Amino acid sequence: MPLDRHARALLDLQAMTGFKGFDAMPVAEARAATAARTAETPRAEVARVEDRTTPGGVPIRLYWPEAGGPPRPLLVFSHGGGWVVGNVETVDHSCRTLANASGCVVASVDYRLSPEHTFPAAADDAYEAYRWLRSEAGSIGVDPGRVAVGGDSAGGNLALVSCLKARELGEPMPAFQLLIYPVVDASCSSASYAECGTGFGLTAEAMRYYWRQYLARPEDGEHPLASPLRADLAGLPPAFVLSAEYDPLRDEVEELARRLRSGGVPTTLRRFDGQIHGFFHLGHIIPDGARALDEAAAALRTALDAPPLGGTAAAAK
């Protein structure tokens, strides 16, 4: 279908202001620009917010949708940004909304970024956060048997890799995966890279740039914990996978969903036609972003049997 008019307006504004992409900036400048873009995003109130750090030094921000009540499910969420930009602040608005809409406690992971810390540093941090949070379930007020992992773009990669690492190590796997247009193949060779590689925000060249920052050596991209599309996906947790029509990642994301299904993994694939990469966090300017977040929250509620919210966010931070 045609490009969504709200997405088109955003792209036109970026073109008018001369925005060339974060890959065209020095890393420090790109990080500052990413932070500035989200600083004024509307943020929902939640019952409680707390910053913690794992024993290994991984910062985590926790969001509770309600104070007290029965143990709730937990979503361990890793932000996108090509493993190069982004942090817990840049997804603060989405994590708050996800917590309220899903009834889950949300834990946002501030993993180490590239190029200072190359593969597998981010994957190790995401997995450490998952494992530690599960072990600390009692103090957090969550059910250790209902812990999901999720993320968008590079963060979706880390969520999926956390499932693979848990299986590899013989440790309890997450109960569910929330994969928002995840990066899963370092080859950058699918047809959608050619079809959607320019003119739709995220470019094919930008993705290649992000992979170059993340991988210490090009051959590391062949590792299944870097490119999980190359992994054996059988036996992984049920998944909700979201793709966008005008996204260079579209084909690898949808191929991931097919391979999960062929491996016996219950998988829901939801393509948002007319949409671009990144729209999930832009519900305040792209209505489909709000709809996508609502659908993701509904998938979490259903999969994790989240209890209804019985109180208010009056104690909001």
Beta strands in the chain (DSSP E): 48-53, 59-64, 72-78, 105-109, 142-152, 176-180, 239-246, 267-276
Is 190 assigned a catalytic role? Answer: no
Q: Tokens 């997405």 map to which residue?
A: 7
Q: What is the spatial distance between Cα 208 and Cα 225, in angstroms, rounded to a whole number?
A: 17
pLDDT recorded at residue 167: 97
pLDDT recorded at residue 40: 86
- Cis peptide bond prior to 120, omega within 30° of 0: yes
Please pick, among 110, 247, 251, 288, the residue that the annotation labels catalytic. 247
Q: What is the spatial distance between Cα 300 and Cα 176, in angstroms, rounded to a whole number?
A: 8
pLDDT recorded at residue 312: 40
pLDDT digit of tens for each residue in the chain (317 aa)? 999 999 999 999 999 999 999 999 999 999 999 999 998 899 999 999 999 999 999 999 999 999 988 999 999 999 999 999 999 999 999 999 999 999 999 999 999 999 999 999 999 999 999 999 999 999 999 999 999 999 999 999 999 999 999 999 999 999 999 999 999 999 999 999 999 999 999 999 999 999 999 999 999 999 999 999 999 999 999 999 999 999 999 999 999 999 999 999 999 999 999 999 999 999 999 999 999 999 999 999 999 999 999 844 333 44
Domains defined for the chain, CATH in brackets: 5-304 (3.40.50.1820)
Nearest-Å Rg of the Cα atoms of the chain is 18
pLDDT recorded at residue 317: 44
pTM: 0.96
Is 277 assigned a catalytic role? Answer: yes
Please pick, among 108, 114, 153, 227, the residue that the annotation labels catalytic. 153
Residue 87: which residues within 8 A CB-CB, separation 6 or more? 31, 35, 79, 110
Q: What is the spatial distance between Cα 257 and Cα 22, in angstroms, rounded to a whole number?
A: 28
CA distances from 116 to 120, 121, 184, 236 (A): 12, 10, 21, 31
Please pick, among 4, 277, 281, 288, the residue that the annotation labels catalytic. 277
Q: Which amino acid is at 31?
A: R
Is 273 assigned a catalytic role? Answer: no
Checking DSSP bridges between strand 239-246 and strand 59-64, what pairing results, if any?
Answer: unpaired
CA distances from 72 to 82, 151, 174 (A): 30, 19, 15
Structural contact between residues 148 and 104, judged by C-beta atoms closer than 8 angstroms:
yes
pLDDT recorded at residue 68: 87
